[in-house]
């Protein structure tokens, strides 16, 4: 006889099958807590995967946290527990009380919860995302036709809680998602950024983790407001033509008692083998990428942010730690794969599955790898044994660049190749050049205080460095505060030192970065052939004695090309001659010697005509007075 027909929100045989196969890409619509109508009753349907639990009940504000009031029914074969609680309301707090086979009772937050209690509380909250009012249809339509390889991307990396704060308030003074949306939109549009990348959005218990130790993967943190406030922020940024990227952490999770660790009294989300399932350096647990339900949890989570919250991309944290079984481990602390090697074969398959599904379902969305090794084909096609990411952070460039910039100019001639080497592999992946939060914490100094010299020399050095970065092949990312030369290292405990903009040298730095960003956005030569050798050409990559770099960025139709000249010493070159490809006029479009950037303000010609005079191996050239630490950009 046929069984009772299940309601659409209930967990059925097909849900069990797809989840067990790792292919239930919208499982977040079934697991977790969802407001529903059952007959004439409204309430909340709860569902949780706890395969090795002896029993599970729901406890919360709706039943006075009574462990016996709302037992859940176990569904086979996967061990998904469900129950309907009439009268439960949106916003009410709850947890799952899990009875383990060892006889313990443990209280866990909902892994699929859409909202959480503000820390230090650890409960989940019922949330209804069904009635969010989106008005960003045009943005999403345009995104589906957008090709990141041919479009500008200048990313402003931001930590909401410390970008700006309401000072003098008794509470922590955090901006809400809505307040932040309005302020950040004005700022990034003025500065010329195309995207913001938000740190620490998924719910996390400890501020000092910056959001990289997550307990609520499906919940935007309650520090700044509700899920609907978060959606309002995304919608507002999109309406103002600003893209949104989130940091996403599938590499590990914390041991907090209410989180995923030993969820049902056994290793549920993590590898059971501690040599595979624990990060000794970080004190965290590692996801079991060989378990279909865990892979499903992570893939559906990535899709959740992009499809439910309209996020434009995910920057995937700590990819290298997932790819290598011995990452951060000593001999004897890790288990080799079946071939005796150190590659995590399950994580490799996970990435291929993840990126194929996310990007296949969402044209124009981005998956960005923070991968710090020379792993091949990170942005290569899955069909050609690549990992399938859209873009990769260029950590090699970042390391070489910062090491060079820290040098006394006297010694830079001996390290000249540190600035040129990245072009030898620039097209092996689709790269983003990054100066991220990681470069301005843990006693690494702020960007301005990495620079050699005193006073004005520091600012001139950094301006030259930023110009080189903006001209170099690759997308761009700057962490907040770097654009106006924040003096102190970043701390999540305070807002940026905006008061520095009362001082001239910090305003001049901000002016310089703003004009570089707008130069980048309005010139196709700077981005449309970022993934092709035809887009970048060295004029002179070998002028080590003078520590001067000159190069050309080409547009596709060659109508508007840009010539960059960057001087990395305090020595002025009265009659610097640069070789050029054609007998043309060269228009000065960016000059670091202008007074608004802290230069001398001396007037100089805006147009330079090349003459037949061999230089840099080219038949034509022109001369230009290149200041100490000077940067000049010419259009031709």
Catalytic residue set: 317, 370
Angstrom distance (rounded) from CA 284 to CA 317: 14
Angstrom distance (rounded) from CA 357 to CA 590: 43
Instruction: Name the 3-class secondary structure at 569.
Output: coil
- Which residues lie below 8 Å from residue 393, measured CB to CB, with a gap of 6+? 315, 368, 369, 370, 371, 372, 431, 432, 434, 436, 477
- Which residues lie below 8 Å from residue 452, measured CB to CB, with a gap of 6+? 406, 407, 408, 409, 458, 461
Kindly tell me the sign of the dihedral angle through the C-alpha atoms of 566, 571, 573, 577.
Answer: negative
Best CA proximity match to 565, nearest among 556, 581, 576, 554 = 576
* Residue 48: C-alpha distances to residues 74, 250, 465 (Å): 10, 20, 51
Strand bridging mode 562-567 / 548-553:
antiparallel
Burial class (CB in 10 A: 0-12, 13-18, 19+), 554: buried
Q: How many residues does this entry show for the chain?
A: 636
Angstrom distance (rounded) from CA 311 to CA 304: 9
Q: Is 82 left (phi over 0), alpha (psi -120 to 50) or beta?
A: beta
Best CA proximity match to 636, nearest among 573, 569, 587 = 587
CA dihedral 455, 458, 459, 461 (to 10 degrees): 150
What burial letters (b/e) apply to 238-247, b meaning 16+ CB within 10 Å?
Answer: bebebbbbbb
Which runs of consecutive H residues, i.e. helices, occur in 172-323? Answer: 177-191, 227-239, 274-277, 292-303, 319-323
């Amino acid at each position: 006889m046929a069984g009772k027909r299940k309601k659409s929100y209930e967990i059925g045989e097909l849900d069990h099958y797809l989840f067990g196969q790792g292919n239930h890409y919208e499982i977040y619509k079934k697991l977790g807590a969802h407001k529903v109508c059952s007959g004439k009753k409204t309430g909340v349907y709860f569902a949780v995967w706890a395969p090795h639990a002896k029993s599970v009940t729901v406890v919360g504000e709706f039943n006075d946290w009574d462990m016996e009031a709302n037992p859940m029914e176990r569904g086979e074969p996967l061990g998904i527990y469900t129950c309907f609680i009439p009268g439960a309301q949106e916003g009410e707090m709850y947890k799952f009380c899990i009875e383990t086979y060892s006889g313990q009772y443990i209280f866990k937050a909902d892994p699929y919860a859409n909202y959480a209690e503000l820390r230090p509380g650890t409960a989940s909250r019922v949330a209804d995302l069904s009635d969010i009012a989106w008005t960003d249809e045009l943005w999403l339509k345009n995104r589906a036709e957008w090709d990141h390889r041919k479009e500008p991307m200048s990313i402003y990396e931001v930590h909401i809680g410390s970008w700006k704060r309401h000072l003098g308030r008794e509470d922590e003074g955090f901006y809400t998602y809505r307040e932040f949306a309005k302020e950040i939109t004005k700022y990034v549009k003025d500065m010329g950024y195309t995207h913001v990348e938000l740190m620490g959005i998924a719910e996390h218990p400890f501020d000092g983790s910056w959001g990289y130790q997550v307990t609520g993967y499906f919940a935007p943190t309650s520090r700044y407001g509700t899920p609907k406030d978060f959606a309002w922020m995304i919608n507002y940024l999109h309406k103002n033509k600003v893209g949104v990227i989130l940091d996403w952490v599938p590499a590990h999770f914390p041991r907090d008692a209410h989180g995923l660790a030993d969820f049902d009294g056994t290793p549920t989300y993590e590898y059971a083998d501690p040599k595979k399932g624990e990060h000794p350096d970080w004190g965290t647990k590692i996801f079991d990428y060989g378990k279909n339900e865990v892979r499903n949890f992570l893939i559906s989570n990535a899709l959740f942010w992009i499809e439910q919250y309209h996020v434009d991309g995910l920057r995937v944290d700590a990819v290298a730690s997932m790819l290598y079984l011995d990452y951060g481990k000593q001999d004897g602390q890790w288990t080799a794969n079946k071939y005796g090697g150190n590659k995590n074969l399950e994580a490799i398959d996970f990435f291929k599955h993840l990126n194929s599904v996310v990007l296949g379902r969402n044209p124009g969305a981005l998956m960005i790898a923070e991968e710090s090794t020379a792993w091949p084909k990170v942005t290569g096609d899955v069909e050609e044994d690549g990992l399938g990411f859209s873009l990769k952070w260029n950590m090699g460039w970042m390391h070489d660049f910062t090491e060079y910039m820290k040098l006394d100019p006297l010694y830079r001639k001996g390290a000249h190749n540190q600035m040129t080497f990245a072009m030898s592999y620039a097209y092996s992946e689709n790269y983003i050049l990054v100066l991220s939060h990681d470069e301005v914490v843990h006693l690494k100094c702020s960007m301005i205080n990495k620079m050699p010299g005193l006073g004005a020399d520091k600012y001139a050095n950094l301006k030259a460095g930023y110009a080189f970065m903006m001209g170099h092949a690759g997308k761009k990312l700057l962490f907040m505060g770097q654009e106006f030369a924040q003096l102190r290292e970043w701390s999540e405990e305070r807002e940026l030192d905006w008061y520095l903009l009362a001082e001239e040298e910090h305003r001049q730095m901000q002016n310089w970065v703003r004009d570089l960003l707008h130069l980048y956005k309005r010139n196709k030569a700077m981005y449309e052939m970022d993934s092709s050798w035809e887009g970048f050409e060295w004029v002179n990559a070998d002028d080590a004695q003078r520590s001067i770099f000159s190069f050309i960025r080409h547009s596709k139709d060659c109508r508007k090309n840009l010539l960059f000249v960057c001087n990395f010493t305090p020595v002025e070159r009265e009659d610097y001659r640069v070789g050029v490809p054609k007998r043309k006029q060269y228009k000065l479009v960016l000059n670091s010697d202008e007074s608004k950037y802290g230069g001398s303000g001396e007037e100089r010609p805006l147009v330079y005509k090349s003459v037949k005079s061999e230089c840099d191996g080219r038949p034509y050239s022109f001369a230009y007075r290149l200041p100490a630490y000077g940067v000049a950009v010419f259009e031709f």
